[in-house]
Structure 1
Amino acid sequence: MKTYTLREAAKKIGTTARDLKQWEKQFTQWITVPRTSQGARIYTDELIHRFRQIRMLLEEGRHPREIADLITQMNGRPADPPAPVEPDVMEGEIIDVPRLLRHGAPYIAEQLVARVKDELVDAVKREAADTIQQAMREVKGQLDHLGEQTSAAAETVRRSLQDYQEAWQQKTEQLHEHLETVVAFCHEEKARQEQERKQLEQRIIEREKAFRELVLSFRQTAANTNAGRSRTNKWWKFW
C-alpha cells in the first residue's frame, strides 16, 4: 500500500500541512489519520481522496457540519481508527533510527539531507519574511517621513506665495497711489501754466494797447504843438 507523509499529502491535495491538521480535528469522527509508533502521520490514497472532497466542499462555502453529513453519505459511517502502519518512506517526519540503520548509510544520509533541507528552507523562509516585514516597516517609515517633509514644504511654499502676493498687492496699491499723485500734479501744473499763459497774453495785450494809446497821444500832442512848422520838421509823422 502506497503511503505519504504530511508534506507529500498536502502537496498532492493542493493545500498546506496546517490545513490538513485543522481538517483532521474538525472531522475527527469521519476521518482518522493513522500514525507510526513515533507519532508521524501516514496518508493513504483513500485519505487523500477524502481530504480533496473536503477541500472542494469548503471552497464551495459549505458549513463543516454539512460537509460531515455529505462525507457520511458518500463514504458510509465514520471510519474506525486503523492500526499503526509502517510506511516505506517517512520524509520530513520523525526518523525511525533502528529502521533506517537497516537501509544503510546512503539512505540515512539522504533522509538527513532531506530533513536538514526542509529545516533550512523553513528557516530561510522565516528569515526572508522577517526581513521583508522589517524592510516594509522601514520603507513605510521613510514614506511617512517623506510625506511629512513634503507637506511641510508645500505649506512653506504656500505661505511664501501668499506673502509674495500680499507684498505685490501692497506695492501695486502704492504704485497706483503714486501714479494718481503724479497725474494730479500734472493736471495742476498744466492748469497753472495755462493760467500764467493767459495772464501773460492779457498783459501783452494791455501793454500793446497802452503803447498804442501813448503813441496816439504823442501824435496828437505833436500835431497840436507844431502845427505851424515845416514838413521837414514834423518828425512825429514817422510814428
Structure 2
Amino acid sequence: MQKILQDIDRLQKFVTENTLSKSIEAKMNEDFKLNYTYDSNAIEGNTLTLLETKIVLEGITIGGKSLREHFEVINHHNAIDYIYNLVIDKTLLSEYDIKSIHSLILKNIDDENAGKYRECNVKISGAMHIPPEHYEVPMQMQDFIQWYHQQAFSMHPVIRVSRMHSLFVGIHPFIDGNGRTGRLLMNLELLKSNLPAISIKSNKRLEYFKALDKAQTDKDYQDIDRIIADCVYQSLLQKEELILQFLQNKNNNLHKTNTIKRSR
C-alpha cells in the first residue's frame, strides 16, 4: 500500500504542475460524469446501459425503463455538479452537506425521505454487517463528523477517503441512496485534496461490496483501501498520459511554427 500511495503522490505532483487545455479538461469532466453516473447507478441495480444513460441526460426518455431509473440518472448527474460547487467553496464536510447531497439523489423518487435520516432499521442485502438501530443514527452521524474534523486529516488523503466511505456506508443513515451518497462524499473529499474523482466500475461490484463488508465487520480496511487507491492511481495515470500527449503535440506545433518562420 505504501508503494501505491507514493506513486499517487508523484503523479499528483505532476498533474498539478502540468495542466491541460480548458477544452480538453471540460471534455474529460463530461466523460467522467457520464461514466461515473452510469457505474454508480449500475452498482445499485439501475438497468440503463451507458448509452441509455447518455440519452437520458440529453433529455430523451427510454421506452421500457422505469421513471425511477430515469430520475436516478438525472439526480446523480446534478449531485456531481453540486459537489463540484462544494469543492469551489472549500466547504468542510457537515451533516447539512450530506443531507443536501442525499436530497438530490432521492429527488422525485422518494421526496418524503430525501435528506432525512432513516426512522426504521435496515439490512444491507448479502452483507454480514448490520447497520445500527435507527435511533442510534443521529448520534453516530455526529460522531462521524467529529471524527472527520478531529482525526481524519492525520491520514493520507486516499486512506482518509477510504475510511470515510466505509464508516458512512456502515452507518447507513438513510432508508435508500446510501451507496450513491457515500461515493459522492468520497469524491468530494478526493477533489478537495486535489486528487481526481473516481468511478468504481460496475463490474467490480462484488469485490467492492465484499471489501466494504470486511471493513465494517472485521475492521480490516486493506481491501477497500486497495480498491480506492487503485482507482485513484489509474485516474491519475490516465491524466498523466493525456498531459504528456498534450505537451508533445504542443511542442510539435511550436517546432513547425518555428520551422516555417525560419524558411521565410
TM-score, length of structure 1 as denominator length: 0.33
* Higher RCO (C-alpha under 8 Å, 6+ residues apart): 2
Which has the larger helix fraction? 1
Query: Between Structure 1 and Structure 2, whose CA radius of gyration is higher?
Result: 1
